[in-house]
């Protein structure tokens, strides 16, 4: 045998060995892949280090040896991006969203067939999933939120104001009067600030007995432009114009955030939501703050509840893995840890969160009591699912009224007409 032949035989042998090694390595990789899968999670914002949900995902991945891939799309953008993901057949395995009913609910798995959903508080489940008609459970709650009033304790002290209590809440008139007093005597620039969100503003409307719609048999009537609602909006505009509230927040034209105003000690009372409790607790160091019960309008107190849920798209590649995560999350031990980290209101029957800090615990007692003030008007509005027809347009009309482009009545009349046209509900 010539040297050339020997060399070529050795070469072939080397190639075969190499190929078999590759084959083995491929086999190893595929078996590894069976054991360690990647769960793709869609979140609404870049998670901070203390983000309870993200940390729960991480802990689960560590315990089970799986991997995580996080995709961040803000809630508003989810409405347009999620359909594109569905079209491209590239959906995440779990979607954390506050807009489940607007993300094509037909595309999500009924979780009641995959896990025990009877553990969830029924009211929380309906409010969070915004679904009042179906028996399916399309999302498992991960956050139950309420609108709430934060206040600057130091400013109250300076202005000589005593905070209201659960048994003795303020009236709306008292809230407005005290906001003026805070501005005058409390060493704050503004007495009251309200998030640039219709869901915060609507509390004032519900407190005065107003509503977006009224039920009329099987259909609804549009009532957003009622006299009550016009008066509520007029008062809101006057508070902005007088400087008791930072007008720039509600006129638009700036990206100023009222949470920053409050954190800097420039606002006496801040109408926001429970999801801001933990960030405020972390960021506010210049003064003490607390939570106060909602004020009573001409008819009632009002809080708006909502929240976020975890849903599994039907076309998710790793849907079994997603179900596995949900079952893990709602185990008693894991859930308590999650609620403690999230400082959230519980959405599971017989499980609640009590903080070790007495001030925080007292605030949560107030928040828990506020659950009773979710108004019937709000629940009817939610049942109508009016936001499936128009959503941001309502806030834009409010913005135009505050900025002076339209009158309060003009803005609400125009929105009533728009909603009526889209929904076929009569304006009454």
Partner 1 sequence: MQKRKNRMSHAFWMLIFPSGLLFFVFFIIPLILNIILSFTNYDGWKTMNFIGLSNYQEALTDSRFYSALLKTFIYAIVNLPFKVIIPLLLAVLLTSDKVKFKTFSRTAIYIPVLLSSLVVGITINWMFSQEYGLINFLIQQLGGQPVAWGRQPALATFIISLASTWASTGFYMIIYIGAINNISHDVYEAAEIDGVSAWQRLLKITIPLLMPTTFLVTLLSTVNLLKEYALIQGVTQGGPGTSTTFVIQYIFDKGFNQSLYGYAAAMSVVIMIIFAVIAFIQFKVNEGGEFTK
Closer residue to partner 1 (CB): 44 or 142:
44
Contact 97, 75 (CB under 8 A): yes
Distance CA 29, CA 24 (A): 9
Interface residue with partner 1, options 99, 198, 387, 399 (CB under 8 A):
399
Degrees (nearest 5) of the Cα angle 67, 71, 75? 140
Q: How many residues bind partner 1 (CB under 8 A)?
A: 31
Give the pairing of strands 219-222 and 426-427.
Answer: parallel
- Contact region with partner 1 (CB under 8 A), list: 60-68, 252-260, 313-321, 376-384: 252-260
DSSP state of 216: E
Assess 417 for contact with partner 1 (CB under 8 A). no
Residues ≥6 apart with Cβ < 8 Å to 186: 152, 155, 156, 158, 159, 161, 268
If binding is defined by CB under 8 A, does position 79 make contact with partner 1?
Answer: yes
Q: Which of 268, 258, 252 is nearest to 190 (CA)?
A: 268
Binding letters toward partner 1, positions 91-110, x by CB under 8 A: -------------x------
**Is position 261 an interface residue for partner 1 (rule: CB under 8 A)?**
yes
Window contacting partner 1 (CB under 8 A); options: 117-125, 228-236, 302-310, 390-398: 390-398
Contacting partner 1 within 127-146 (CB under 8 A): none
Could you tell me which stretch among 7-15, 223-231, 247-255, 370-378 binds partner 1 (CB under 8 A)?
Answer: 247-255
Helix (H, G, I), strand (E, B) or coil at 304: coil
Q: Does 283 bind partner 1 (CB under 8 A)?
A: no
- Interface pick for partner 1 out of 105, 252, 279, 410 (rule CB under 8 A): 252
- Residue 30 vs 80, nearer CB to partner 1: 80
Inter-CA distances, 393 with 150, 194, 246, 415, Å: 27, 18, 22, 8
Distance CA 320, CA 52 (A): 22
Of the residues 400, 408, 415, 423, which one makes contact with partner 1 according to CB under 8 A: 400
Q: Say how far apart CA 398 and CA 372 lie, in whole Å.
A: 27
Q: Is 88 in the site for partner 1 (CB under 8 A)?
A: no
Label each residue of 249-295 as H, E or C: HHHCCCCCCHHHHHHCCCEEEEEEEHHHHHHHHHHCCCCCEEEECCC
Footprint (CB under 8 A) of partner 1, residues 174-203: 189
From the list 195, 202, 243, the residue with the least C-alpha distance to 412 is: 202
Q: Which of 396, 410, 413, 427 lies at the binding interface for partner 1 (CB under 8 A)?
A: 396
Among 86, 119, 177, 348, contact with partner 1 (rule: CB under 8 A):
86
Tokens of 162: 């005593």
Q: Which of 51, 70, 112, 264 binds partner 1 (CB under 8 A)?
A: 264
Using CB under 8 A, list all residues that contact partner 1: 76, 79-80, 83, 86-87, 104, 189, 246-248, 251-256, 260-261, 264, 266, 390, 392-393, 396, 399-400, 402-405
């Amino acid at each position: 045998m010539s040297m050339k032949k020997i060399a070529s035989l050795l070469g072939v042998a080397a190639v075969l060995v190499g190929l078999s090694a590759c084959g083995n390595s491929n086999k190893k990789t595929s078996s590894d892949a069976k054991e360690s899968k990647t769960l793709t999670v869609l979140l609404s914002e870049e998670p901070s280090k203390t983000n309870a949900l993200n940390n729960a995902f991480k802990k689960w991945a560590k315990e089970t040896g799986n991997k995580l891939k996080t995709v961040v799309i803000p809630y508003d953008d989810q409405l347009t991006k999620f359909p594109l993901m569905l079209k491209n057949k590239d959906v995440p395995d779990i979607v954390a969203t506050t807009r489940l009913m607007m993300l094509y609910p037909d595309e999500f798995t009924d979780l009641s067939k995959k896990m025990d959903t009877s553990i969830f508080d029924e009211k929380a489940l309906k409010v969070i999933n915004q679904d009042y008609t179906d028996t399916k459970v399309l999302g498992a709650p991960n956050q139950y939120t309420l609108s709430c009033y934060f206040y600057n304790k130091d400013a109250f002290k300076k202005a000589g104001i005593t905070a209201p209590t659960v048994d003795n809440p303020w009236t709306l008139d008292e809230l407005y009067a005290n906001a003026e007093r805070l501005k005058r005597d409390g060493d704050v620039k503004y007495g009251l600030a309200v998030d640039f969100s219709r869901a915060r503003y609507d509390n004032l409307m519900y407190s005065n007995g107003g509503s977006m719609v009224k039920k009329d048999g099987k259909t609804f009537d549009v009532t957003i432009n009622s006299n009550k609602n016009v008066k509520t909006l007029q008062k809101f505009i006057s508070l902005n114009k007088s400087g008791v509230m930072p007008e720039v927040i509600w006129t638009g034209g700036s990206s100023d955030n009222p949470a920053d105003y409050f954190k800097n000690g420039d606002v006496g009372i801040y109408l926001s939501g429970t999801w801001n409790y933990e960030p405020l607790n972390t960021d506010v160091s210049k003064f003490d703050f607390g939570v106060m019960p909602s004020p009573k309008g001409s008819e009632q107190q009002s809080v708006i509840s909502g929240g976020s849920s975890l849903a599994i798209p039907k076309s998710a590649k790793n849907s079994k893995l997603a179900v596995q995560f949900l079952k893990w999350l709602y185990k008693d031990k894991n859930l308590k840890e999650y609620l403690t980290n999230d400082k959230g209101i519980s959405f599971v029957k017989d499980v609640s969160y009590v903080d070790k800090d007495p001030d925080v615990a007292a605030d949560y007692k107030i928040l828990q009591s506020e659950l009773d003030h979710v108004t019937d008007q709000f629940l009817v509005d939610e049942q109508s699912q009016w936001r499936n027809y128009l959503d941001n347009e309502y806030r834009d009309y409010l913005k135009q009224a505050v900025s002076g482009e339209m009158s309060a009545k003009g803005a609400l009349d125009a929105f009533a007409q728009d909603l009526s046209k889209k929904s076929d509900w009569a304006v009454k």
